[in-house]
Each structure stands twice: as C-alpha cells, then as structure tokens.
C-alpha cells in the first residue's frame, strides 16, 4: 500500500551536521525510507552540538540532532574498514538515493566515489552537498556557515552601514542547501524513473547562498552597481521599512509597494509622517533619519500584537518580530496543528516543528523520534541484509559497527 508521497523510496543517508540531515529530513517527512549511517562510537557531529536539556551535553539529547533526524532509522558502520565498505555497497545496491555531505575529497578517499558506486548500482542517484561544490578553486577550502555566507555574497548586504557585515543566525545557508539538495535529488530520481539512469548531483552551499541574494547577486550585470548594507544616516533602510521597537518587542512595517498615504492614515500621523518631503520614496531616503524617528515615536508605546493585527485589518501586510515563545504560543500555528510532541526514550517528550504543508487526503503520519546511535543495526543488518546475530556480534567486536 502506498501511504505517503515518497513511500517506497529508499535513501541511504551518510550525512552529518546540518545541510545533509536537513535534506534527508525533507525526504523522510514525505515518507521516504531513510537509513542514517553513523560512525561507530562518535556518530553525527550534531550529537555534540546544543541545545541540550539543562545545558548538559549528551549524545542522545542534542536538540539540533533530535530535530534534524526524526523518523530516520539509524545504524553504525565503519567505512574505513574493508568489511564496512563491503556492507555499504550491499546497502547501496538496492538504494534509490544516497546523500552525503563530506568534504569532496572524503568519498573518493574511502573508495566510494560516484564512479565506483555507479558500478554497484547504475540507477543510484548520489547527492553530494559540500561547501563549495565538487569542482573549482575553492573546492577543498575549509568551510563553516559563516565562510559560505561571506563568499556567497549575502553577508556583505546585511548589517549597518559602517559596521561589520553580519550573517543570519543559526545556519540558514546550510538549511537552504539541504532543501536545494532534496529538490535536486528528486529531479534526478524522476529522471531515474523515466530513463533508468542514475547520476551524481553536486550541491554547493556557497552557490545556494548566492541564489539567495535576490537581486544583489546579478545587479552588477544589470547596471554596474554593488549594493551595500543599511543607509549611512537613519540606518533603518527607511524607504523599505524595518524593525521598530515597541512596548513589548518589535514591530515591522514594510514600506515598499504601498501608497504612503495609506501608511500616514494608518498611523493617523498627518502631522509627522504626512510631511510633504516624505511623500516620495526618494524623499524618504533623503530624510531617512527623520522618517525613522517619526515612525519610532508612533510604535514605541503600542504593543507588537496590537500593531500587527490592526495593520492587517488595514490590509497592510506587516509583521512583528517573534521569538520561540511567541511561536509556540501562536494561535495560527496552533490552529493548524503545526507543532508536534515527540517522545524520545532519553530526551523525553518535547515540542518540535512539524511540516510547513498539509496535503489533501494524506495526513502526516505519527513521527518517530531520532534514532539512538546504532538503534536499528539489528533490524537493518539482520532483516534487510540477512546477517545473523552471531555475525553482528563479530562485526561489533571488530569495530565495524
């Protein structure tokens, strides 16, 4: 029986940290059968990254790992051992998809590059997500999220005029690269289904960040300018609108694509915002500091939620800054049953974001917690590959699993 959209799609997951696990998370959320392969003893590096309950590090309790790896089955395998490689190839033989996000030199050094795996399974779609891609002069550069943000060009455009550029919090580049990886993988899977061919998919986090740069990535080709950050004076991108402090947080009026008159009327502020010199967008750049000050005076004493709801009543598509507490208590997210509670044997019952979609006629299934390290060894090695429990003990002794 076909239950979920990707039911029956077999994915081998050799990923760690953020980009790769986010990619396979999207696939498993849609019903793909994902087997996550981790290094014996250590496991995924994300297991050592917080947040942890009470800030006490524990490899089975990392909030980051738990979130990115729900519903996957987990096995351990030492890919440096010959037996480990042999077992890996057995798994690859009947997989549809393999996703990995090592540095580009790693898979070839293990003797598990695409050319080798293609011989094992010509239909395999192998997706490699790396910081800079599988080719080019930066290929073997050492990376971190912030490095991909810098070279990807997005960082330069974020922040104050004269201060250092600043990246998004968390790992937005790797997250988007994971989604890009999942989409690209499914395009290759479609091609496999139609034409019977597998192939190698190369996803670069740096290029993903570049894609994210809206017009900034190409505007030089369209007129020879490079955009900087916020304005020198007034600092708040005055003409575009920005984050304004209010009584209990921050309100975000977005000023583009709206008649200025409407904004003046909404705030009932003909005397301040209604000044003739503010009526054109060029004027609002020239007098940005005054526009900012006038707006701030109008938001300072009001509440963020009240401003948000009243602006929506005026059909102004504005926003507020929400933090984790606001989100967990958001009536819209609650009405859509967005959050789910998942009970993990060691980390306990916690609130997780669910998925950002509803599919007609296909309810989202009960989601299993992230796997303990090696939790599904017996299930996969014995039931799927036909090893005996005795074999398993031997593999364990030889530190293959």
Partner 1 sequence: MAGMPLEGIRITDIGTALAIPVATKFLADYGAEVIKVESFSHLDSARVGPYTDNEIGEKYWERGVPYMTANANKLDIALDLNKPRGKEIFKELVRRSDVVTENFPPRVMKNFGLDYPVLKEVKPDLIMISSSGYGQTGPWMNYGAYGWGLEPMSGISQVTGYQEGLPLRSSIPYNDYLGAMNAVVLIMAALEYRRNTGKGMYIDFSQYEVGVFAVGETILDYSMNQRVQTRMGNRHPSMAPHGCYRCSGNDKWVVIAVSSDEEWQALCQAMGNPAWAKDEKFADALSRWKNQDELDRLIEEWTTTQDHYEVMRVLQAAGVPAGAVLNGKEQALDPHLKERDYYWVHKHPVVGTRALAGPWSKLSKTPAIMRMPPPTLGQHNEQVLSELLGMSKEEIAELASEGIISTKPVGEAELPPGYMPVMPIALGMEAGLISEYDENYREILGLPQE
Strand partners, 122: none
Report the C-alpha gap between 38 and 380 in whole angstroms: 13
Residue 310 is a binding residue for partner 1 (CB under 8 A): no
Residue 386 is a binding residue for partner 1 (CB under 8 A): no
Q: Please choose, out of 87-95, 271-279, 281-289, 388-396, the segment that lies near partner 1 by the rule CB under 8 A.
A: 281-289
Q: Cβ contacts of residue 292 below 8 Å, gap of 6+?
A: 234, 235, 236, 238
Q: Please choose, out of 1-9, 81-89, 104-112, 377-385, the segment that lies near partner 1 by the rule CB under 8 A.
A: 1-9
Which candidate, 17, 3, 59, places its Cα nearest to that of 371?
59
Which three-class secondary structure state does DSSP give residue 241? Answer: coil
204 or 377: CB nearest partner 1: 204
DSSP string, 141-190: ----HHHHHHHTSTGGGSS-TTS---PPSTTHHHHHHHHHHHHHHHHHHH
Residue 194 is a binding residue for partner 1 (CB under 8 A): yes
149 or 267: CB nearest partner 1: 149
10, 338, 364, 392: residue in contact with partner 1 (rule CB under 8 A) = 338
Question: Which residue blocks in 30-127 are alpha helix, DSSP H?
Answer: 63-68, 82-93, 106-109, 114-120
184 or 368: CB nearest partner 1: 184
Residue 101 is a binding residue for partner 1 (CB under 8 A): no
271, 324, 363, 390: residue in contact with partner 1 (rule CB under 8 A) = 324
Q: Minimal distance in Å, beta carbon 103 to partner 1? A: 11
Residue 225 is a binding residue for partner 1 (CB under 8 A): yes
153, 272, 274, 392: residue in contact with partner 1 (rule CB under 8 A) = 153
35, 147, 298, 307: residue in contact with partner 1 (rule CB under 8 A) = 147
Residue 122 is a binding residue for partner 1 (CB under 8 A): no
Counting other chains too, the contacts that 214-222 makes at CB distance below 8 Å and 24 or more residues apart are 216/153, 216/154, 216/156, 216/157, 217/153
8 A C-beta contact, residue 26 and residue 182: yes
Distances (CA, A) of 201 to 107, 133, 184, 366, 371: 14, 10, 7, 31, 27
39, 228, 275, 396: residue in contact with partner 1 (rule CB under 8 A) = 228
110, 120, 240, 382: residue in contact with partner 1 (rule CB under 8 A) = 240
Cis before 289 (ω within 30) = no
12, 30, 79, 395: residue in contact with partner 1 (rule CB under 8 A) = 30
Q: Minimal distance in Å, beta carbon 390 to partner 1? A: 38
Residue 149 is a binding residue for partner 1 (CB under 8 A): yes
218 or 393: CB nearest partner 1: 218
Count of residues near partner 1 by CB under 8 A: 164
Report the C-alpha gap between 400 and 127 in whole angstroms: 24
199, 272, 293, 368: residue in contact with partner 1 (rule CB under 8 A) = 199
Residue 282 is a binding residue for partner 1 (CB under 8 A): yes
Report the C-alpha gap between 379 and 73 in whole angstroms: 9
Distances (CA, A) of 33 to 6, 13, 27, 315, 339: 8, 10, 8, 44, 23
320, 380, 395, 400: residue in contact with partner 1 (rule CB under 8 A) = 320
Q: Minimal distance in Å, beta carbon 167 to partner 1? A: 6
12, 36, 52, 104: residue in contact with partner 1 (rule CB under 8 A) = 52
Residue 269 is a binding residue for partner 1 (CB under 8 A): no
60, 230, 294, 387: residue in contact with partner 1 (rule CB under 8 A) = 230
Residue 55 is a binding residue for partner 1 (CB under 8 A): yes
Report the C-alpha gap between 185 and 14 in whole angstroms: 14
Structural tokens at position 367: 């989601």
14, 35, 66, 124: residue in contact with partner 1 (rule CB under 8 A) = 66
Report the C-alpha gap between 41 and 35 in whole angstroms: 17
Residue 389 is a binding residue for partner 1 (CB under 8 A): no
Report the C-alpha gap between 209 and 227 in whole angstroms: 16
């Amino acid at each position: 029986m076909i239950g979920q959209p990707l039911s029956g799609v077999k994915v081998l997951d050799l990923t760690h940290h953020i980009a790769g696990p986010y990619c396979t998370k999207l696939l498993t959320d849609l019903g793909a059968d994902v087997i996550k392969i981790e290094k014996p003893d250590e496991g995924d590096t994300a297991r050592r990254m917080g947040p942890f309950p009470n800030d006490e590090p524990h490899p089975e309790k990392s909030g980051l790992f738990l979130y990115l790896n729900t519903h996957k089955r987990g096995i351990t395998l030492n890919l440096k051992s010959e037996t480990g490689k042999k077992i890996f190839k057995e798994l690859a033989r009947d997989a549809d998809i393999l996703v990995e996000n090592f540095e580009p030199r790693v898979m070839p050094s293990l003797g598990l590059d695409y050319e080798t795996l293609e011989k094992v399974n010509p239909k395999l779609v192998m997706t490699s997500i790396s910081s800079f891609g599988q080719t080019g002069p930066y290929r073997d550069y050492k990376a971190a999220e912030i490095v991909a943000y810098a070279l990807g060009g997005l960082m330069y455009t974020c922040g104050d005029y004269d201060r250092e550029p600043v990246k998004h919090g968390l790992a937005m580049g790797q997250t988007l690269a994971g989604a890009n990886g999942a989409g690209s993988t499914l395009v290759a899977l479609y091609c496999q289904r139609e034409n019977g061919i597998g192939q190698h998919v190369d996803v670069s986090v740096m290029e993903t960040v570049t894609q994210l740069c809206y017009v900034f990535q190409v505007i030089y080709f369209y007129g020879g300018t490079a955009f900087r950050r916020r304005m020198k004076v007034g600092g708040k991108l005055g003409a575009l609108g920005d984050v304004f402090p209010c009584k209990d947080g921050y309100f975000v009026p977005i000023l583009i694509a709206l008649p200025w008159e409407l904004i003046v009327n909404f705030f009932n502020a003909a005397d301040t915002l209604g000044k003739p010199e503010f009526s054109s967008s060029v004027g609002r750049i020239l007098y940005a500091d005054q526009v900012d000050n006038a707006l701030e005076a109008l938001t300072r004493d009001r509440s963020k939620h009240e401003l948000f709801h009243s602006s929506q009543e005026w059909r102004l598509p504005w926003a507020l800054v929400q933090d984790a507490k606001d989100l967990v208590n958001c009536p819209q997210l609650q009405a859509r049953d967005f959050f789910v509670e998942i009970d993990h044997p060691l980390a306990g019952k916690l609130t997780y974001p669910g998925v950002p979609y509803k599919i007609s006629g296909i309810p989202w299934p009960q989601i299993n917690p992230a796997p303990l390290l090696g939790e599904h060894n017996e299930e996969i090695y014995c039931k799927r590959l036909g090893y005996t429990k005795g074999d398993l003990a031997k593999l364990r002794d030889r530190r293959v699993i």
